[in-house]
Structure 1
Amino acid sequence: MEKQHKNTSLIRRFVPYYKKYKWILALDLFCASLTTVCELVLPLIIRFITDKAINDMASLTVEVILSLGLFYVILRLIDGVANYYMADIGHVMGAKIETDMRHDLFSHLQKLSYSFYSNTKIGQLMSRITTDLFDVTEFAHHCPEEFLIAGIKISVAFVILGNINIWLTLVIFSALPIMLLTTGYFRIRMRKAFKRSRVQTGEINAQVEDNLLGIRVVKSFANEAIEEEKFDVGNGIFLDIKKDTYRYMAGFQTTTRLFDGLMYSLVVVGGSLFMINGTISPGDFMAYLLYVATLLTSIRRIVEFSEQFQRGMTGIERFAEIMDEPPEITNAPGAKELTNVKGDIRFEGVGFHYSDGNNEVLSNIDLEVSPGQNIAIVGPSGSGKTTLCHLIPRFYDVSSGRILIDGQDIKNLTIHSLRTQIGVVQQDVYLFSGTIHENIIYGRPDASREDVILAATQAGAHDFIMQLPKQYDTYVGERGVKLSGGQKQRISIARVFLKNPPILILDEATSALDNESERIVQTSLEKLTKGRTTFTIAHRLTTIRNADIILVLTEEGIVEQGSHEELIKSEGIYYDLYQMYQDLDELNEDY
């Protein structure tokens, strides 16, 4: 994901965001031109008055002076209106572009696969979607303005100054390329420092998120001091990066100020010599000084904008890095909708390995599941039980072979239609920060209140919900922290009841619960699985005795399959596992 982008490629990526606002941008640039004209007219007025005062004082009447004054006042009024538009509507345009980019970034993140999130810190992603784009508003607004204004001022100043004295003008303008080359050294390092700063901001976000989500573990081990020490290390790195950034900024600004002084010296000394020789008039000299001041002001604004430009480009670069991350799971060309699902599922020679490794997690898996069957999967940790189930909704894609639902290869189905037909209940329940109602209705956003209550009742959650202070409108806290494990699990089951999918995946849904909670949740799951094709990943083998087929999965693949009674009779791996779990259960009961 860390990839260097050239400014030209980043600009090409950014320019299309102006398309929606092209008329706002056009008017903004027109206003920028008007403000520039106002600045360029003043030296001409002063030149005119100075020359008249020296050469023909009689022609410099009150009427002429008042006319010039009125003309300039009108220009300043136009300048004021134009500047207001730029400051208001122009900035809003920049904010809208930032909003559009943030939307696109968030939308793209929704498409990225499980493997991407397995290898990426959430804090880094939070940084990219928030702080990295803050400077885009100013960049989007000021970048076209500043370059247009600078272009007009430098071009017009060159023409007017050249007409006054071409030799002095050439001397002054010859210093500009030298200044650009000198400041370029610092510009490149500023860009790198800004990017390092953004990366470290993401690291700090990730560290803070990790600490706050695990604050109960921190406090239970009384390790606050250790966490503070870890934070101070990251915070110190951030400070070092900031020091480098400000050092390069200081060098950049000092260089421009030195060239600023050099060009003023050239104008004052050279202009004075030309005036002594009679080559230019005092009025020309005054105009020359004012235009050079205008020119240097423009250059200084570009220099100052360079810092903002580099910040904006860094934000765009970090944006582009995520947008360039390809989704691993995509719809095939001509993918079909999956409808009227019966629940017939077949694995044909399925193999799988993660993209970052060569070791196969699964190999040569052949399996036929009839509609409505309950398939239980057992085996040692790391044998690929969860991975096998995650292949069905295409959380990962098979490396070899294929999976069919009702005779259709899942790779030829649209991802959305496939996943809407599959419900997943996981061991690690995730509840969103919100109310119980909001969490249950997530299973089917268009459901009525009555449907939500019915789903909660089916999941065995209605009774405990009605005992809460605000019932279905009770706030569950961050990740459902205000509820017990059993309560959270029942809400997650209610969510699936509401979705009403024909295919279910139960990923060790009761393994983290106490015996009483497990009994209640198991009753809810038995209701949920009725009439649905179900894959149950089991930790406690006593919960799967009634499964139609039990698969024993090891690193060598499916080594045993059959009903509970059949596998017990065969006295193989399942028999040994079941005996071990029975002994553990008896031991727990004794305690």
Structure 2
Amino acid sequence: MQTFTRFLGRYKAYVVVAIMLMLIELTVEVAQPLMMSKVIDEGIVAGNVNSILLWGGLLLGTTIFAFAIGILSSFYSAHVSQNFGFDLRQSLYECIQRMSYNTFSKFQEASLLTRISNDVNQVQNAVFMGMRIMLRAPLLVITSLIMALALNAKLAIYLLIAFPILAIFLGWLMVRNNKLFHIVQQKLDQVNKVMQQSLMSVRLIRVFGRMSHENNQFQHKNEQLRARTVATMIFAELSNPIVLILINSCILFMLWAARNQIQAGSSITVGEIVAVVNYAMRITGALSMISMIVNGIARASASMQRVDEVFAVADSEQTEAKASADSVHMEGDICFSGVCFTYPESNMNTLSDVSFQVKSGQLLAIMGATGSGKTSILQLIPRMYHADAGVITIDQKPVEHYALHQLRMNIGYVPQEIMLFSGTVADNIRWGKLDATDDEVVEAAKLAQIHDTIIELPQGYDTMIGQKGVNLSGGQKQRLSIARALVRKPAILLLDDCTSALDVETERRLLDAIGELSCTVLLVTQKMSTTVRADSVLIVDDGKVMKQGTHEELMLHSSLYRKIYQSQRGKEREAAWTNPTTRELTAP
């Protein structure tokens, strides 16, 4: 609720204006049945044409006035609701962007997508409905009841009796619907999850001919959503018939009571009967509206709870990221001391007592089998995750000492899974530094050994790249991602096995170019041609550091390293012999 009031409070002036206009509209509407009774009693029954014209004209004028006020109130309500939705959606997106991986892993991506779109829309609609009818409908019921009691208490007493029954019923309905709509939103999450996975893997699905399987999966989740939504809506819509039955029964009792009063010689007039019945009809319409409002509140409440969950689990990073606007220059000296780490919701240690050091400007090659913890080491440096134990320092200061933006602005990171965005080649490189000049973009491309390839493209640096870089080869995508990291001139460069698709010569030129930069490089690799060039090599196995040293030192003291080296040399000789051109060049 705090989140709701915080965002709505930004537009309290507009909210007040919208509510004031709604109250004026309501006042006119409540007065109209009274005017109708005057037209009947003082005009039609009495045969007074002037009274008919006077009260009829007043009724018509106030109706037009209420119509204009209603339009103006709708405008202000729409202004508030749309801006409320915009601010909430923007803040939620920024919150998600600042999440650590620990926090992000608590939500499915499809669920976050649903929360930032569908759930925000539900709350936004509730804001508009709240200013237009959520307050208006109960007030209309109360004021109509008061006016009916004032005109003829004996007739209106039946409405008063029905009120407690309706209040208890609608309150129970709102609580029940809140739970049901929460389940509906969860089913929508599951549908979005299947759809997202299918769209991301559409090429693989077609290659393996799994379209039918994916269709069945989507149909199953879609059917669950349909069934749950139908069941919830049937239950929710039951409220309207029950309200109508109860109020219409009250109207029948009122008409029966009016007949008895007339037969008993009471002074009740036709105008009074019409006015009281008219108030009862307005109450009926308002209560039908309230049942719809109850469903809307229940759905919006469930959605707001889901939005609040995202804000609630966001850790101190959000405050910390804004804590300091100062930039900081790092030299790039990195030290791990007794670092232990376990992924959230996992019982297996990923890193155990990891200790090593990299001096500023050095190249550290990290080797190890799949799942040994190489990527985890890189992700702890920019604090994508937090270590469970031990200390990680940069320039002799714990990484927690730096604000997140200070830390990450000094780091260039190329993940193992390359991600490119729809846009031009230059835009994708400049994504690493949005204010980079054209010369800086070209310089980064040259360092990444991709410049010659770019200028051969149809529009050079202005060539459009498809989603995820579908029109580029694996090696081109890797070098473009490296250029994106280099354009920011980082003090620390983290390369997570991102040279696997490069040939030996291209990789050599790339490492030569990076070697000319004054940055510390941590490179996850499986290539011995890379480790030979490194200042230091880190051997990781099962989350533990087995050895650290130069290529020569490890050849002397690490049997594991020697086995890897001999294995790769054997494969290289085999490849050379099976290549006729190479065989001719290497033949004695």
TM-score after normalising by structure 2: 0.92
1:520 aligned onto 2:506:
yes
SS at match of 1:453: helix
Structure 1: distance between partners of 2:127 and 2:7: 9
Match of 1:495 among 461, 484, 501: 484
- Going from structure 1 to structure 2, the CA distance change for 1:340 and 1:19 (only over 3 Å counts) comes to same
Provide the residue aligned with 1:316 in structure 2. Answer: 304
Q: Which moved more, 1:75-84 or 1:493-502?
A: 75-84
Match of 1:546 among 530, 533, 550: 533
1:470 aligned onto 2:456:
no
Superposition deviation, residue 188 in structure 1: 3.8
1:134-156 deviations in Å (ceiling 9; x for gaps): 23332111213323323432332
Structure 1: distance between partners of 2:52 and 2:185: 55
Provide the residue aligned with 1:6 in structure 2. Answer: none
Contact persistence 1:187–1:306 (CA under 8 A): yes
Structure 1 gap segments, 5+ residues each: 1-9
Structure 2: distance between partners of 1:83 and 1:532: 65
1:556-579 deviations in Å (ceiling 9; x for gaps): 622211110111122422112222
- Going from structure 1 to structure 2, the CA distance change for 1:279 and 1:243 (only over 3 Å counts) comes to same
Provide the residue aligned with 2:313 in structure 1. Answer: 325
Within 5 Å, which residues of 2 pair with 1:32-111? 32-53=22-43, 57=46, 60-62=48-50, 64-111=51-98
Superposition deviation, residue 522 in structure 1: 4.3
Match of 1:439 among 428, 438, 451: 428
Contact persistence 2:77–2:132 (CA under 8 A): no
Contact persistence 1:336–1:413 (CA under 8 A): no
Within 5 Å, which residues of 2 pair with 1:385-400? 385-400=374-389
Superposition deviation, residue 329 in structure 1: 4.8
SS at match of 2:384: coil
Superposition deviation, residue 249 in structure 1: 2.8
SS at match of 1:443: coil
Provide the residue aligned with 2:447 in structure 1. Answer: 458
Contact persistence 2:17–2:76 (CA under 8 A): no
Superposition deviation, residue 98 in structure 1: 0.8
1:489-542 deviations in Å (ceiling 9; x for gaps): 11111112211001111111122x163xx5324422431243321111112222
Letter in 1 for 2:65: I
Structure 1: distance between partners of 2:415 and 2:512: 15
Match of 2:219 among 232, 237, 240: 232
- Going from structure 1 to structure 2, the CA distance change for 1:336 and 1:348 (only over 3 Å counts) comes to farther
Superposition deviation, residue 160 in structure 1: 2.1
1:436-481 deviations in Å (ceiling 9; x for gaps): 1111001111111222122212222122112222221222111111
SS at match of 1:394: coil
Letter in 2 for 1:362: L
Provide the residue aligned with 2:127 in structure 1. Answer: 140
Structure 1: distance between partners of 2:561 and 2:496: 19
Provide the residue aligned with 1:506 in structure 2. Answer: 495
Letter in 2 for 1:487: Q
Provide the residue aligned with 1:214 in structure 2. Answer: 201
SS at match of 1:534: strand
Match of 1:160 among 140, 147, 155: 147
Contact persistence 1:378–1:552 (CA under 8 A): yes
Provide the residue aligned with 1:307 in structure 2. Answer: 295
Contact persistence 1:47–1:284 (CA under 8 A): yes
Contact persistence 2:373–2:543 (CA under 8 A): no
Structure 2: distance between partners of 1:87 and 1:396: 47
- Going from structure 1 to structure 2, the CA distance change for 1:335 and 1:541 (only over 3 Å counts) comes to farther
Provide the residue aligned with 2:111 in structure 1. Answer: 124
Letter in 1 for 2:53: L
Contact persistence 2:321–2:404 (CA under 8 A): no
Contact persistence 1:335–1:413 (CA under 8 A): no
Superposition deviation, residue 240 in structure 1: 1.1
Match of 2:162 among 175, 190, 197: 175
1:479 aligned onto 2:468:
yes
1:182-211 deviations in Å (ceiling 9; x for gaps): 345544443333222222222212211111
Contact persistence 1:329–1:396 (CA under 8 A): no
Contact persistence 2:321–2:405 (CA under 8 A): no
Superposition deviation, residue 68 in structure 1: 2.3
Structure 2: distance between partners of 1:52 and 1:333: 70
Provide the residue aligned with 2:570 in structure 1. Answer: 583
Superposition deviation, residue 72 in structure 1: 2.5
1:275 aligned onto 2:256:
no
Provide the residue aligned with 2:361 in structure 1. Answer: 372
Contact persistence 1:337–1:414 (CA under 8 A): no
1:371-416 deviations in Å (ceiling 9; x for gaps): 1111111122222111112111111111112111112111111010
Letter in 1 for 2:440: D
Structure 1: distance between partners of 2:88 and 2:119: 11
Structure 2 gap segments, 5+ residues each: 579-588
Q: Which moved more, 1:491-500 or 1:256-265?
A: 256-265
Provide the residue aligned with 2:7 in structure 1. Answer: 17
Superposition deviation, residue 125 in structure 1: 1.5
Q: Which moved more, 1:79-88 or 1:95-104?
A: 79-88
Structure 1: distance between partners of 2:205 and 2:574: 31
1:294 aligned onto 2:282:
yes
1:570 aligned onto 2:560:
no
Letter in 2 for 1:237: Q
- Going from structure 1 to structure 2, the CA distance change for 1:224 and 1:507 (only over 3 Å counts) comes to same
Structure 2: distance between partners of 1:336 and 1:53: 75
Structure 2: distance between partners of 1:342 and 1:128: 41
Count of matched residue positions in the alignment of Structure 1 and Structure 2: 575
Structure 2: distance between partners of 1:332 and 1:143: 35
Contact persistence 2:77–2:131 (CA under 8 A): no
Superposition deviation, residue 180 in structure 1: 3.2
- Going from structure 1 to structure 2, the CA distance change for 1:119 and 1:46 (only over 3 Å counts) comes to closer
Contact persistence 1:113–1:328 (CA under 8 A): no
Structure 2: distance between partners of 1:125 and 1:483: 30
- Going from structure 1 to structure 2, the CA distance change for 1:449 and 1:275 (only over 3 Å counts) comes to farther
- Going from structure 1 to structure 2, the CA distance change for 1:370 and 1:120 (only over 3 Å counts) comes to same
Match of 1:405 among 390, 394, 405: 394
Q: CA RMSD in A?
A: 2.3
Structure 2: distance between partners of 1:238 and 1:525: 52
TM-score after normalising by structure 1: 0.91
Structure 2: distance between partners of 1:136 and 1:205: 19
SS at match of 2:285: helix
Q: Which moved more, 1:479-488 or 1:171-180?
A: 171-180
Contact persistence 2:174–2:297 (CA under 8 A): no
1:216-242 deviations in Å (ceiling 9; x for gaps): 111111111111111111111122112
Contact persistence 1:385–1:537 (CA under 8 A): yes
Provide the residue aligned with 1:30 in structure 2. Answer: 20
- Going from structure 1 to structure 2, the CA distance change for 1:464 and 1:177 (only over 3 Å counts) comes to same
Structure 2: distance between partners of 1:290 and 1:380: 81
- Going from structure 1 to structure 2, the CA distance change for 1:90 and 1:54 (only over 3 Å counts) comes to closer
Structure 2: distance between partners of 1:546 and 1:436: 30
SS at match of 2:336: strand
